[in-house]
Amino acid sequence: MSTTDLESDSPAPQTSSMRGSGRRVGDSVFSYLSVGSGLLIFLTLAAVAIFLTSESMPAVIASQEFSGTSEFSLIEVTLPLVYGTVLASAIALVIAIPISIGIALFISHFAPRRLASGLGYMIDLLAAVPSVVYGLWGGIWLVPKLEPVYVFLNTYFGWIPLFAGEPTAPMRNLASASVVLAVMVLPIITAVSREVFLQTPRLQEEAALALGATRWETIRTVVLPFGRGGVVAASMLGLGRALGETMAVLMILAPGATFSLHILEVGRHNSIAANIASKQAEASGVDMSLLIFTGLVLFVLTFIINALARWIVARSGPKS
């Protein structure tokens, strides 16, 4: 680097051949480095796929489905975990999406212009808090606070299957984990939706206002239809985040492995990520590769969700 620096700094015309070679060396080194980094990204992801697959092979081979021995069944181990993961994330999204859209609208259209960026920063702070701190806060502080709400729901809305069953204190159930997950995906959905809402063509909004529409009517007729694709994509990104979240679920949920719909009951569900984190310390050999297999399933699941989200963004992009 330093030699080429010197060469290119020297102004004398007679060194033009040297300058040329220095230029070529510097350029090709830089070009190789940057192309190499791009290729390294390919290699890394290939390595992730290859190592997760190869390390999970022992479990696949030893499982009931392939070997015929009844040691353990891949499907029986994996499916309840997938169910728990998806259920927890779905409930988290049901809580988070309406609130996020509300916040995004508040920041983009309701809050005074001068406050808006500060308020957006407050929401970004929510995203900056490490997940383990959310787990600690949820496990110690939030779970006892939610207990009366659950008792209320169970007593008066117990006829809905979701709230049925017998909740017992401490409420380390799927619902608590979902509430904390909702808090964690909120900033992601808000940030993306806010961006989309802010891109609404100004003229269309002003046209609606000029026709005498109230602010809500403007939002309903102009902003929301414009931002629909963005909100869907934001929600999918949030879903991807919720599916892979480990610590909040690990620290709050008392694990179980059933297909129960009763989200208020304790010890009924578990998620893939939390299951890996809780069992990895003691696992080795086939047990470990079984955990890696569930990790591979999670990887594929989030990959599909994220790819779908990107596809929606790309499809709704050109129109904006």
Partner 1 sequence: MSSSTSVQAPPTVRSSDERRLPWYHLIFTGLAGLLVAVAVLAIFDALSVASAIMLGFGLHLLFGWGYSLLREGPRWAMDRLMTLLVIGAFAISMFPLLSLLWEVISRGLTRAIAAKPTPFSFWSEDMSGIIGGADAGGVFHAIVGTLLITLWASIISIPVGLFTAIFLVEYADQGWKRTLGRGVTFLVDVMTGIPSIVAGLFGLALFIAFMPDQSVRMGIMGAVALSLLMIPTVVRNSEEMLRLVPMDLREASYALGVPKWLTIVKVVLRTAIAGLTTGITLAIARVIGETAPLLLTVGMVTSVNWNMFDGRMATLPTFINQQYRNGNANCMNETVTNPVNQEVYACSITTNIDRAWAAAFTLIVIVMVLNIAARLVSHYFSPKLSR
Residues 209-238 that bind partner 1 (CB under 8 A): 209-210, 212, 214-217, 219, 237
- By CB under 8 A, residue 134 contacts partner 1: yes
Taking the C-alpha atoms of residue 22 and residue 17, their distance in angstroms, rounded to an integer, is 9
Q: Which is nearer to partner 1, 161 or 285 (CB)?
A: 285
Question: Which 57-86 residues touch partner 1, going by CB under 8 A?
Answer: none
* Residue type at 171 in one-letter notation: M
User: How many CB atoms sit inside 10 A of residue 267's CB?
Assistant: 15
CB 70 to partner 1: min, Å: 26
CB 272 to partner 1: min, Å: 8
| Token digits of residue 174 | 């799927």
- By CB under 8 A, residue 144 contacts partner 1: no
Taking the C-alpha atoms of residue 307 and residue 221, their distance in angstroms, rounded to an integer, is 29
> CA quadruple 221, 222, 228, 229: dihedral positive or negative?
positive
Backbone φ and ψ for 72, nearest 5 degrees, come out as -155, 160
- By CB under 8 A, residue 197 contacts partner 1: no
Question: Which 86-105 residues touch partner 1, going by CB under 8 A?
Answer: 98-103, 105
Question: Which 156-185 residues touch partner 1, going by CB under 8 A?
Answer: 183
Taking the C-alpha atoms of residue 253 and residue 259, their distance in angstroms, rounded to an integer, is 15
Interacting span for partner 1 (CB under 8 A) from 44-52, 68-76, 158-166, 226-234: 44-52
Question: Which 273-312 residues touch partner 1, going by CB under 8 A?
Answer: 273, 276-277, 280-281, 284-285, 288, 291-292, 295, 298-299, 302-303, 305-307, 310
DSSP string, 229-251: HHHHHHHHHHHHHHHH--HHHHH
